[in-house]
A and B are shown apart, each in its own frame.
Chain A
Amino acid sequence: MNALSNDPPVVRTTCPYCGVGCGVLASPDGQGGAMISGDPDHPSNFGRLCSKGSALDETLGLDKRLLYPMVRQPNGKMARTDWSTALDKVSDGLRTIIAREGPDAVAFYLSGQLLTEDYYIANKLMKGFIGTANVDTNSRLCMSSSVAGHKRAFGADTVPGVYADLDQADLIVLVGSNAAWCHPVLFQRIMANKRERGAKLVVIDPRRTMTAQEADLFLPIAPGMDSVLFAGLLAYLADTHTIDFGYIAAHTVDFEAALERCRSLAPDIAQISKTTGIDAADIIRFYELFAGTPNAVTCYSQGVNQSAQGTDKVNAIINCHLATGRIGKAGMGPFSLTGQPNAMGGREVGGLANQLAAHMGFSPLDVDRVRRFWNAPRMAEREGHKAVQMFDAINRGEIKALWVMATNPAVSLPNAGLVRDALRKLELLIVSENVLVNDTVMTGAHILLPAAAWGEKSGTVTNSERRISRQRAFLPLPGEAKPDWWIIAQAAKRLGYGKAFNYETAADIFREHAALSAYENDGSRDFDIGAYADIDSADFDTMTPFQWPRAAGRAPGETRFFASGDFFTADGKARFVAPETPALHFAADAEFSFTLNTGRVRDQWHTMTRTGLSPRLASHLPEPFVEVHPDDAREHHLVDHGFARVTTRYGSCVLKVHVTDNQRRGSLFAPIHWHGTNASSACIGELVNPATDPLSGQPESKATPASIQRVDYRFAGFVLSRRDLTLPEGTWWVKAAADGGEGILLASNEGIRFWEEWMHSITSDATVSSDFLDEPRGIYRAAIFKDGKLDFCLFVGPASQRPEWNAAKAVLAAGTLEEQQRRALLSGQSADGMADHGPIVCACFGVGLKLIRNAIATGEATDVASVGKALRAGTNCGSCQPELKRIIAHEQHERAAHAV
């Protein structure tokens, strides 16, 4: 499948972005690119793709890719090496540290972008062979509160429902989910239900997001107070006798205790309104709607999970579904929407430090079972460090070696500044990556291992509804890049575990993973895909998406859990959980009087490693920004589209200000996508507090006390360039993909003289091809052309009139330029549709060559006199008449030649 051919087949694969898990059709063009479309046969998306998925074709280039192993030299520089040397260094480094300090001195930090097979053997190597559970993943930041909540309530990390429930529900409640931007294809499914079946949509969010704007009822909740709202709902359901006494009695325990706690948390509507900040009438409307609509699905995402009480929030929601028996039936149930393409796959293989494998934990029975299955010499017997604690342990010097795969913790973890400091302390930092440079690599990685990227790697992923789909390669492996599983297996062999890591294909690993899921299971564990334990490689290649569980011998089909109990607790009963009194871990105070909320924008994903390559996606919201309520903006003298410094106890960023009443008062919102490689001062991870949920270890990324101050720049502008370049110190900048090169938006206090000098300093041959200077108005624009193409341009002007860059971007994208395009470039406006009369021939009347040629071609002019009659050319001073004669002779000669 990796081979290039003249007529390549269309390859079915799965989108690498969010947890919806959309099927994608890729038609490789044979030149490293591919046409991308939605797979109409994939049950997650039925052919639809969101903006990010649709732009995958723009992200396939090899620019900025890490294409061969690199090792840090004694002189501090990275140098290319071969795989054998690099892997020897990996295994020697790990072995030395393990021998000296024990297995807990090493750790893996994995990613929801890994395929299940990669995840599986990384976990196997650490927990079964190296002997530590210091394996955690960026999924910790994404859905670990859901995992913990599921386990508390159900006894297992089980998502009870399926996507079809969203089509069949009459009420859909979205809690802490901007699905319109973050899970767009599912959101479209919800909207279709709303349109076609009249389903009601309730959105609970501190911000009036795009999702909220589509809601029948929007409840703008105070940050962190979700469990009070749902505690109140449970009490309301009890008070109105909407609860399902039969289900509660037969399949659950602890209802009374939970209800009692909920009543104390939410004694009456007035109190709930006071705590949550939601209008009392709206609360009642919501409760009535929920009580009166049996077919109700409650979806929750990062707004619930990324919280110091995320697990309680999850359980507060699940409580309401258990109490009404609305679970595991068509069109009803609690539903966790995961953020990553394979967070669920990671959960299945035990990618988290508090899981073992195949949905087993660290009970002695589970540890023993896995030990026997793996024939493992050194099983980890207790949980390892969860992400935030793992980096604390690194910072304390307890962990000496870290292997990071497919993620960028220096950007994405809370208190990212401390994470960077910690990374710098490592004796051995191994990074498996797609890209040559990112913030984690920049902290001083010792070994870089080129990993296969989406489109090149092959294996499986699991989406939010437990559906396992294939990711398939449709491009050859570039350079010396290798699949992650291969890299890990090679390291394992060098560590002496060759027999247990003797895999030849991803299918080998998948079979083992499937076999483990069925091993001594017999229905005791939710995750069972034993039906695939013996799948042959050909069937693996053509495997169609399926939902688990798929125990051996069980027929395929859509599966829900818990309609009739059968929970995975020891007694088979679900647990009601009494939520604690909610409070933000760090409350706003006099110095940091705002609460900083974080999230995403529509067209970017995570740290933009992939989406950042797409010019199309870069055009939506190219700049890192902070949203502020108009009243707060006024009080702090902030202006829309100005700048502000957002400061927390952990760090500060300078961001564009968006003033909007979609934002609640006292709250700030900033998207998480930018970092040190693509912006001067916009790594939001550096601002986020490191407090975590006590059960899930998930950080409270959406509530950090913060302050905001206006920042002014006198000048603003942009750069478009075909090459990488560094802007002068002190400049505010952000990079954005542009066709043909790179775009940088900038702001600065330096005036045009400074920029003129800088322009000359970056031009090796000291020739700026063209420039435009209106010094009294503070405008400077300059360009360098090479080989007839725009190579570089800089536009700087007063901050109040920032130059528009679309026309210049079109010039960069155009390649070889028409002279008129070149002449118009520095105007910042398109030359399209401009009359081009060509070089002036008659100076007196400004008559251009093209006009004259045209008059001759139409027969309107045949000699100097008739040219003069038609165009006035040559009728004043007459000095152009000889040239006119030549032009006429030339044109007539040409026409005669053509006529022949």
Chain B
Amino acid sequence: MSEPLVIIGNGMAAAKLVEKLSARALGRYAVAVIGEEPQLAYNRVLLSSVLANDVAQGDVELKPKRWWRDRGVTVLYGHAATSVDRGIRRVKLASGATIPYSKLVFATGSRPIVLPIPGRDLAGVMTFRDLRDVEMLKQAGAKACNAVVIGGGLLGLEAAYGLAKAGAKVTVIHLMDRLMERQLDAEAAAMLKAQVEAKGIEVLLSAETAQFVGDRHVTRVDLKDGRSIPADIVVMAAGIAPNVALARTAGVSINRGIVVDAQMQTDISGIYAIGECAEYNGRCVGLVEPAYEQASVLADNLSGADAAYVGSIPATNLKVTGVNVFSAGDFLGAPGTEQIYLRDRGLGVYKKLVIANDKLVGAVLFGDTADGLWYLDLIRSGVSTDRFRNELAFGRALAERSNNLDMAA
């Protein structure tokens, strides 16, 4: 008899866990996936592409229904789990039904932070997290309205890009003095700003929102410096918070996220957490790459192998508004580190490499990220770059050729 494994959350981490688990121990578990959203797991990374009409909504589905069925997975989508009774090892759904588990995985993800700004309850003030948000934004954008995005991080810029493509006149309001400050240094951020602005999006930096104004429906955003920006919709993209409410009912230890060990297990045996809701080593991560790593580690452990998650070097490797951006490690360069820069303004390329004691410890790439993974390998492996420092910024192929090395990690 298969052991009942319940996964709460039907996102990318959950799908990856099922994929890995079924490859390693098909049949060992009777898997049930409980998802609040009314559809199968989809690729959240593509939300902005859906918003921008680059991708059809139907194309974001991670796996077709048959894929889940072939693996014997019960997918309960459109069902919110309301509590966990760990005494009787059951998950209670909003419908009142309960699902028994032997092992339980939280893959509940995160939700947008709603800033405590006056007027946040006005109609038209929304977030950008799921397909339902996308649908609403699309409708608003199609009316060529004024849209204000609060937050110049990755998510905010993606929303702004999608809205602009959908036809809205978009203004991004960012509290910090540069965009994506958690991934980019000032120069890369300035290049990104120029790119964003070239797409018709206005960017206001060092701008703090005072209030949303409107009668029932938002009509403008007031800034603390006195400026007002007309707004038919406002998207709050000022960060995310792990979804931990349900886990709290299970009584597991919670800090910012659900605290897990290297095996992705919470402080209660048989209960695990992966993805954005999990906190490992004091850190929650909001990117797909570490979530996948965690899913893989957990799949190994659940199938009887020994695997440990060692944490991820914070690395971002993605496209922002159509531009390749890569960032990893100590990309700002702490005191005592050395920096190498390579720029090509004509090609829109910027590379900054941070070196400490001859080892690569951080990198920012803008425009040309071809060697991002190589840099990440170098950061992770900590090999000395002394021999090929002169070629380092020019990429792996050149470094390998001129040093007659095979630096495959």
Residues of A within 8 A of B (CB): 767-777, 779, 785, 819, 822-824, 826-829, 833-835, 837, 839-840, 843-846, 848, 876-882, 885
**Given contact pairs A774-B389, A846-B371, A882-B54, A840 touches B342 in the complex (Cβ within 8 A):** no
Residue A769 contacts which of B342, B346, B397 (CB distance < 8 angstroms)?
Answer: B346
**Given contact pairs A837-B370, A840-B370, A878-B46, A770 touches B391 in the complex (Cβ within 8 A):** no
* Distance of A829 from chain B, by nearest CB (Å): 6
Instruction: Let me know if B45 is at the binding interface, CB within 8 A.
Output: yes
**Chain A residues positioned under 8 Å from B49 (CB to CB):** 879, 882
Instruction: Let me know if B319 is at the binding interface, CB within 8 A.
Output: yes
User: 16 A-B contacts, Cβ less than 8 Å apart?
Assistant: A770-B345, A823-B347, A823-B368, A826-B394, A827-B393, A829-B394, A829-B402, A840-B369, A846-B372, A846-B373, A848-B370, A878-B46, A879-B318, A881-B43, A882-B55, A885-B59
A775 touching B45 by the CB < 8 A rule? no
Contact residues, B336-366 vs A (CB, 8 A): 338-347, 349
B326 touching A843 by the CB < 8 A rule? yes
Residue B394 contacts which of A785, A819, A823 (CB distance < 8 angstroms)?
Answer: A823
B interface majority secondary structure: mixed
A772 touching B46 by the CB < 8 A rule? no
Instruction: Let me know if B62 is at the binding interface, CB within 8 A.
Output: yes
From B45, B288, B346, B391, residue with most partner A Cβ within 10 Å: B346
**Chain A residues positioned under 8 Å from B347 (CB to CB):** 770, 819, 822-823
* Distance of A440 from chain B, by nearest CB (Å): 42
Chain B 54-79 interface mask (CB, 8 Å, partner A; 1/0): 11000100100000000000000000
B317 touching A843 by the CB < 8 A rule? yes
5 closest cross-chain pairs (CB), A and B: A770-B344, A827-B394, A776-B338, A879-B45, A773-B341
**Chain B residues positioned under 8 Å from A880 (CB to CB):** 319
**Chain B residues positioned under 8 Å from A777 (CB to CB):** 389
A879 touching B373 by the CB < 8 A rule? no
* Distance of A822 from chain B, by nearest CB (Å): 7
Residue B324 contacts which of A770, A785, A843, A878 (CB distance < 8 angstroms)?
Answer: A843
**Chain B residues positioned under 8 Å from A837 (CB to CB):** 370
* Distance of A717 from chain B, by nearest CB (Å): 14
> A771–B349 Cα gap in the complex (Å)?
10
* Minimum CB distance partner of A797 in chain B: B390
A876 touching B369 by the CB < 8 A rule? no
* Minimum CB distance partner of B54 in chain A: A882
* Minimum CB distance partner of B59 in chain A: A882
> A461–B402 Cα gap in the complex (Å)?
52
Residues of B within 8 A of A (CB): 12, 43, 45-46, 49, 54-55, 59, 62, 288-289, 292, 317-319, 324, 326, 338-347, 349, 368-374, 389-391, 393-394, 397-398, 401-402
* Distance of B58 from chain A, by nearest CB (Å): 12
> A787–B48 Cα gap in the complex (Å)?
36
* Distance of B66 from chain A, by nearest CB (Å): 14
> A546–B394 Cα gap in the complex (Å)?
62
B289 touching A844 by the CB < 8 A rule? yes
* Minimum CB distance partner of A848 in chain B: B370
Residue B391 contacts which of A827, A835, A844, A877 (CB distance < 8 angstroms)?
Answer: A827
A823 touching B46 by the CB < 8 A rule? no
**Chain A residues positioned under 8 Å from B397 (CB to CB):** 834-835
> A829–B397 Cα gap in the complex (Å)?
12
* Minimum CB distance partner of B292 in chain A: A876
* Distance of B335 from chain A, by nearest CB (Å): 13
* Distance of B378 from chain A, by nearest CB (Å): 13
Q: What number of A-B contacts does a CB cutoff of 8 Å give?
A: 121
* Distance of B240 from chain A, by nearest CB (Å): 17
**Chain B residues positioned under 8 Å from A769 (CB to CB):** 344-346
B345 touching A775 by the CB < 8 A rule? no
* Distance of B296 from chain A, by nearest CB (Å): 11
**Chain B residues positioned under 8 Å from A785 (CB to CB):** 346
* Distance of B68 from chain A, by nearest CB (Å): 17
Extra 6 A-B pairs, beta carbons < 8 Å, given A774-B393, A879-B43 = A774-B389, A823-B349, A823-B368, A840-B369, A843-B372, A878-B46
**Chain B residues positioned under 8 Å from A882 (CB to CB):** 46, 49, 54-55, 59
Residue B345 contacts which of A767, A773, A840 (CB distance < 8 angstroms)?
Answer: A767
* Minimum CB distance partner of B287 in chain A: A877
B398 touching A829 by the CB < 8 A rule? yes
> A771–B346 Cα gap in the complex (Å)?
11
A879 touching B319 by the CB < 8 A rule? yes
**Given contact pairs A768-B345, A777-B389, A844 touches B46 in the complex (Cβ within 8 A):** no
* Distance of B325 from chain A, by nearest CB (Å): 9
**Chain B residues positioned under 8 Å from A824 (CB to CB):** 394, 398
* Minimum CB distance partner of A834 in chain B: B397
**Given contact pairs A777-B389, A827-B394, A878-B46, A843 touches B401 in the complex (Cβ within 8 A):** no
B43 touching A877 by the CB < 8 A rule? yes
**Chain B residues positioned under 8 Å from A846 (CB to CB):** 369-374
**Chain B residues positioned under 8 Å from A848 (CB to CB):** 370
* Distance of B375 from chain A, by nearest CB (Å): 10
> A882–B60 Cα gap in the complex (Å)?
9
**Chain B residues positioned under 8 Å from A833 (CB to CB):** 401
B289 touching A834 by the CB < 8 A rule? no
* Minimum CB distance partner of B318 in chain A: A843
B398 touching A834 by the CB < 8 A rule? yes
* Distance of A760 from chain B, by nearest CB (Å): 13
**Chain B residues positioned under 8 Å from A885 (CB to CB):** 59
**Chain B residues positioned under 8 Å from A834 (CB to CB):** 397-398, 401
A822 touching B318 by the CB < 8 A rule? no
From A771, A773, A834, A843, residue with most partner B Cβ within 10 Å: A843
**Chain B residues positioned under 8 Å from A835 (CB to CB):** 397
> A844–B315 Cα gap in the complex (Å)?
11
**Given contact pairs A785-B346, A824-B398, A834-B401, A772 touches B393 in the complex (Cβ within 8 A):** yes
**Chain B residues positioned under 8 Å from A768 (CB to CB):** 345
* Distance of B42 from chain A, by nearest CB (Å): 10
**Given contact pairs A774-B340, A846-B372, A879 touches B46 in the complex (Cβ within 8 A):** yes
* Distance of A320 from chain B, by nearest CB (Å): 58
**Given contact pairs A837-B370, A846-B373, A822 touches B340 in the complex (Cβ within 8 A):** no
> A575–B170 Cα gap in the complex (Å)?
103
> A99–B225 Cα gap in the complex (Å)?
87
> A843–B326 Cα gap in the complex (Å)?
9
**Chain B residues positioned under 8 Å from A772 (CB to CB):** 340-343, 393
* Minimum CB distance partner of B373 in chain A: A846
> A837–B288 Cα gap in the complex (Å)?
25
* Distance of A609 from chain B, by nearest CB (Å): 37
> A846–B371 Cα gap in the complex (Å)?
7
Residue A770 contacts which of B318, B346, B370, B398 (CB distance < 8 angstroms)?
Answer: B346
* Distance of A792 from chain B, by nearest CB (Å): 13
> A843–B46 Cα gap in the complex (Å)?
14
> A132–B338 Cα gap in the complex (Å)?
73
* Minimum CB distance partner of A885 in chain B: B59
* Distance of A700 from chain B, by nearest CB (Å): 48
**Chain A residues positioned under 8 Å from B349 (CB to CB):** 770, 823
> A772–B351 Cα gap in the complex (Å)?
9
**Given contact pairs A775-B339, A823-B368, A843-B319, A876 touches B289 in the complex (Cβ within 8 A):** yes
**Chain B residues positioned under 8 Å from A876 (CB to CB):** 288-289, 292
A826 touching B342 by the CB < 8 A rule? yes
> A881–B42 Cα gap in the complex (Å)?
13
From A827, A829, A834, A880, residue with most partner B Cβ within 10 Å: A827
From B46, B340, B344, B391, residue with most partner A Cβ within 10 Å: B344
> A349–B52 Cα gap in the complex (Å)?
87
* Minimum CB distance partner of B392 in chain A: A774
> A819–B340 Cα gap in the complex (Å)?
22
**Chain B residues positioned under 8 Å from A779 (CB to CB):** 390
* Distance of A64 from chain B, by nearest CB (Å): 30
> A694–B62 Cα gap in the complex (Å)?
99
**Chain B residues positioned under 8 Å from A776 (CB to CB):** 338-339
> A833–B397 Cα gap in the complex (Å)?
10
A771 touching B292 by the CB < 8 A rule? no
B289 touching A877 by the CB < 8 A rule? yes
> A879–B43 Cα gap in the complex (Å)?
8
